[in-house]
Structure 1
Amino acid sequence: MKARVHVTLKAGVLDPQGAAVRHSLGALGFEGVERVRQGKVIELELAETDAAKAEASVKEMCEKLLSNTVIENYTVEIL
């Protein structure tokens, strides 16, 4: 079973990487980009065959390692 985790910064947390991307896009001539927020996607291949158990396990992974829950949000998608 596969799982996909999307990790993004919480609202109000500064995103210097997103700001750098926005600036670079403007320098390349892409006008009108007012804000960029950058995140990450993590794909996992799991041995678990039960979707509910897989989701619970991945959420625990996110809480313990895959995201910094103080400044980041995450969503789990079981594929």
Structure 2
Amino acid sequence: MTFDVVVDISLRPGISDPEGATIERSCAALGFDGISDVAVGKTVRFTLDAADEAAARAEVEDLCNKFLTNPVIEEAEVRLAPSDSMAAAPAGAA
């Protein structure tokens, strides 16, 4: 099976986010009032072939721990769903 994977990576609670703080200050300086608690993260999207959803999730979590995140300061939220290959195929290409 092929899965569409989205990994949202953010800083763990209590870790300083200087980029978020800069954006928050800049918003106020530009007249965008009421913006607070700005946090900056990153999103990684990809497709993955795996036997089933459990195997896909285990592989993505291993990838996050070994490569995509720094587990000391970052955490990852993994979302995955089976790819719909028929929806991506051009009309008449079944």
State the TM bucket, normalised to the shorter chain. Answer: over 0.9
Q: 1:37 aligns with which of 10, 34, 39?
A: 39
Larger RCO, structure (CA 8 Å, separation 6 or more): 1
Q: Letter of the aligned partner of 1:50 in structure 2?
A: D
> Residue 76 of structure 1 corresponds to which residue in structure 2?
78
Alignment of 1:52-71 (within 5 A): 52-71=54-73
Q: Which runs of 5+ in 1 are unaligned?
A: none
User: RMSD of the alignment, in Å?
Assistant: 1.0
Partner of 2:92: none
TM-score in terms of structure 1 length: 0.92
Percentage of matched positions with identical amino acids: 38
Aligned AA (2:36): E
Which structure has the greater CA radius of gyration?
2
Unaligned runs of 5+ in 2: 82-94
Structure-1 separation of matches of 2:44 and 2:51 = 19
Partner of 1:48: 50
Once superposed, which parts of structure 1, at least 4 consecutive aligned residues long, lie more than 2 Å away? none
Give the structure 1 partner of residue 87 of structure 2: none
